[in-house]
């Protein structure tokens, strides 16, 4: 019996000491953020190892691979055959998320994917069902949930607000044609088109805000909205959107989003949560106002507007990736899983459907509906 226990302990020790091998697919600005975060985690933890990087442009893959001392590939097919790869981190253009995730899942790899997890609900649903069938984990990157002030709101302040009756959100950013949608050959190949981007400001930029609105107050029952392209000639998708939604708990929510903000030095993103005891405002991820009856009020003297909103700090990505990989190492659930990632995508698709049909749309949607 002692001999058997000894070998069990040795086996478990070896299993627990094995680092989880991660490969990053897509080495644009966000993919580089993934690579740096994973390399930092490799140094900071005992359960993470960056084992490969992938990009279809060989010079980019070679450069990043050399910079981080990591093998590089130019196709996802090659890296999936690498037995050291346990996890695929997907940071490619949106239309590739679902097919690449499904391919990786069929190879038995775990997947963490950038938002939107897919350009269609059918694609997202297929990712979820394939992951369940193959018994692998599927996570979606909504790193804004890791902002310290947003976590403070979620974990501590919300319960002091009383009954939440209204959540308001605004995203006022700017994206220009030359420097963003038509910046280079790759950008021109997918940005600004329904088939490849899946949507505009709501799907690409505003989805984080909608995810937070759901995370803070629960699932949505119905939506009504309008979307349009008002200032960006040369692209198909919306640059401006407004919507109203009713939560399952009866609260209402408002959404106002645009990438047409001028002057561009006044860009900002805001969520205001109104409750029976007071309200809280989050501006660009930080608490700007906390006003609750009978409590000390906190308020910043002025809003710090942004001049640039494309580059995002990588610290939140790192914390999310840490949690996902820790969940794998300990065989625990990761809270931002595929089903969770579908919730904001479904709300956005419902807004698109409402705008087209000029009617209130109830959730859940039929995933076969393509909008």
C-alpha–C-alpha distance, residues 346 and 120, integer Å: 9
Q: What is the pLDDT of residue 15?
A: 40
Terminal Cα distance for the chain, rounded: 62
Strands 164-172 and 252-258: parallel
Using alpha carbons, list the distances in angstroms from residue 315 to 120, 302, 332, 344: 29, 25, 23, 23
With a cut of 70, list the residues of the chain below it in pLDDT: 1-17, 301, 371
**CATH number of the domain that residue 201 is part of:** 3.30.360.10
C-alpha–C-alpha distance, residues 57 and 64, integer Å: 11
Q: What is the pLDDT of residue 311?
A: 83
Q: Which two tokens stand for residue 248?
A: 């399952």
Tell me if 239 sits within 8 A of 260, measured CB to CB: yes
Same domain (yes/no): 83, 176 = no
pLDDT tens for 265-299 read 999 999 999 999 999 999 999 999 999 998 878 88
Same domain (yes/no): 147, 128 = no
Same domain (yes/no): 107, 183 = no
pLDDT tens for 93-139 read 999 999 999 999 999 999 999 999 999 999 999 999 999 999 999 99
Tell me if 362 sits within 8 A of 222, measured CB to CB: yes
Same domain (yes/no): 170, 281 = yes
Q: What is the pLDDT of residue 296?
A: 72
Residue 364, preceding peptide bond in cis (omega within 30° of 0): yes
C-alpha–C-alpha distance, residues 30 and 36, integer Å: 10
Residue range(s) defining the domain that contains residue 257: 143-302+334-360
Q: What is the pLDDT of residue 304?
A: 85
Q: Which two tokens stand for residue 313?
A: 């700090």
Q: What is the pTM of this model?
A: 0.94
C-alpha–C-alpha distance, residues 203 and 206, integer Å: 6
Q: What is the pLDDT of residue 295?
A: 85
Q: What is the pLDDT of residue 17?
A: 56
């Amino acid at each position: 019996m002692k001999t058997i226990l000894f070998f069990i302990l040795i086996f478990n020790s070896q299993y627990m000491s094995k680092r989880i091998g991660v490969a990053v697919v897509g080495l644009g600005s966000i993919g580089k953020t993934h690579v740096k975060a994973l390399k930092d985690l490799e140094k900071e933890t005992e359960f993470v190892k960056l084992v490969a990087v992938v990009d279809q442009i060989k010079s980019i893959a070679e450069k990043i691979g050399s910079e981080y001392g990591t093998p590089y590939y130019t196709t996802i097919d090659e890296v999936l055959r690498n037995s050291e790869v346990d996890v695929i981190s997907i940071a490619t253009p949106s239309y590739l998320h679902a097919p690449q995730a499904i391919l990786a899942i069929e190879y038995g790899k775990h997947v963490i994917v950038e938002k939107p997890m897919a350009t269609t609900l059918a694609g997202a649903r297929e990712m979820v069902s394939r992951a369940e069938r193959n018994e692998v984990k599927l996570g979606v990157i909504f790193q804004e949930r890791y902002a310290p002030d947003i976590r403070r709101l979620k974990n501590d302040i919300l319960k002091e607000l009383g009954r939440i009756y209204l959540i308001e959100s605004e995203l006022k950013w700017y994206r220009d044609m030359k420097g963003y949608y038509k910046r280079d050959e790759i950008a021109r190949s997918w940005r600004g088109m329904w088939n490849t981007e899946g949507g505009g400001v709501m799907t690409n930029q505003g989805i984080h805000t909608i995810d937070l609105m759901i995370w803070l107050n629960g699932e949505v029952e119905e939506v009504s909205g309008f979307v349009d392209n008002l200032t960006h000639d040369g692209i198909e998708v919306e640059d401006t959107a407004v919507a109203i939604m009713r939560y399952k708990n009866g609260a209402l929510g408002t959404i106002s989003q645009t990438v047409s903000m001028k002057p561009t030095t006044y860009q900002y993103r805001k969520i205001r949560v109104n409750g029976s005891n007071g309200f809280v405002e989050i501006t660009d991820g930080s608490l700007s106002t906390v006003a609750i009856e009978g409590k000390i009020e906190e308020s910043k003297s002025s809003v710090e507007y942004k001049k640039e909103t494309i580059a995002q700090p990588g610290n939140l990505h790192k914390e999310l990736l840490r949690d996902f990989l820790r969940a794998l190492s300990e065989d625990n659930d990761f809270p931002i899983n595929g089903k969770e990632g579908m919730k904001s995508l479904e709300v956005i698709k419902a807004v698109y459907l409402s705008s087209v049909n000029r009617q209130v749309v109830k959730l859940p949607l039929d995933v076969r509906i393509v909008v």
